[in-house]
Amino acid sequence: MLSVCEPTRPCVVMKRTPRTVCVSLVTGLSLMLGSISAYAIQNETREEKAANLRKQAVGGLFQKWTFDQDLPNAQPTSFVKEISTDEPLAEWVVQAHATAPSPPQVVTGSSTCTQNCYQLLLAEGMQYEYPDLSVRFHMPEGAVGSGGVVLGVRDARNFYTAIVDPLARQARFVRLSDGLATVLGQAPVTLKPVEWHSLRVQRNTIISKDFIEVFVDGVLVLSIEDQALGLGQVGLVVAGTSTMGFDSFHAVPLFSHRPFSAPPAY
């Protein structure tokens, strides 16, 4: 029983039955438990997301290959060789190198193709739709040719490739479709006066446009729009008759900005 009194009025008595009090307590308790449950679910979701990100960073699509744990004079583990034509496969060999960006070892690709071929070294089990790829490359003294990275690889006859020719001082971006090469872009490059150069390729999307950017020694040299190829493997490449060394190959997935559905019309 509760009472409310004012100075000029008599006290008014209000009765609250035990059932009313119980209902109020139960309702409040339910609301409190609901809030606690929602908070717990929210925290669990965050923890799961954090765990997933940790797993990706350690053993998922966030990858770095330095070839330092591979056997010398052998093909690097977790990679497979392919070629875009029917000529002999290139030799991909792990070797010690005195100036390796990530000492002590690098991988060198050597191709003796007599026609316009692309020799691939693909990372096994790695599929990316919007990758950020980077690698250090080096042309041995007296060698010729060109090389770089591949992405969106469906098979040895369908992929994108970004290639640098250090002697010609030129970069180009090529799409292979059923073995037919189409140069989507090419540009002159100014290489830094260093022994090892850098190549970076990013494939990204904004709303409905897919674009690829190519950087050589930190400078943007090509920007291309193309949507012909999507999810695929990544790896290294040498083209034609070429010898090129590679080290510190990185692959990171980029988050897509493509909407789940078409934007509404206003």
The third-level CATH classification (topology) of the domain covering 63-253 is Jelly Rolls (2.60.120)
Mean pLDDT of 1-13: 46
Domain boundaries, the chain: 16-59, 63-253
pLDDT band at 205 (very low <50, low <70, confident <90, very high): confident
User: pLDDT (tens digit, 9 = 90+) per residue, 27-67?
Assistant: 444 444 444 333 333 444 555 444 444 444 444 789 999 99
Instruction: Kindly write down the DSSP assignment for every residue of the chain, as one continuous string.
Output: -EEEEETTEEEEEE---HHHHHHHHHHHHHHHHHHHHHHHHHHHHHHHHHHHHHHHHHHSS-EEE--SSSPTTSPPTTEEEEESSSSPPPEEEEEE-TT-SSSSEEEEEEEE-SSS-EEEEEETT--BSSEEEEEEEE--TT---EEEEEEEEEETTEEEEEEEETTTTEEEEEEEETTEEEEEEEEE----SSSSEEEEEEEEEETTEEEEEEEETTEEEEEEE--S--SBEEEEEEESEEEEEEEEEEEEEPPPB--SSPPPP-
Mean pLDDT of 4-10: 46
pTM: 0.74
User: pLDDT (tens digit, 9 = 90+) per residue, 139-184?
Assistant: 998 899 999 999 999 999 999 999 999 999 999 999 999 999 999 9
User: pLDDT (tens digit, 9 = 90+) per residue, 72-130?
Assistant: 999 999 999 999 999 999 999 999 999 999 999 999 999 999 888 999 999 998 999 99
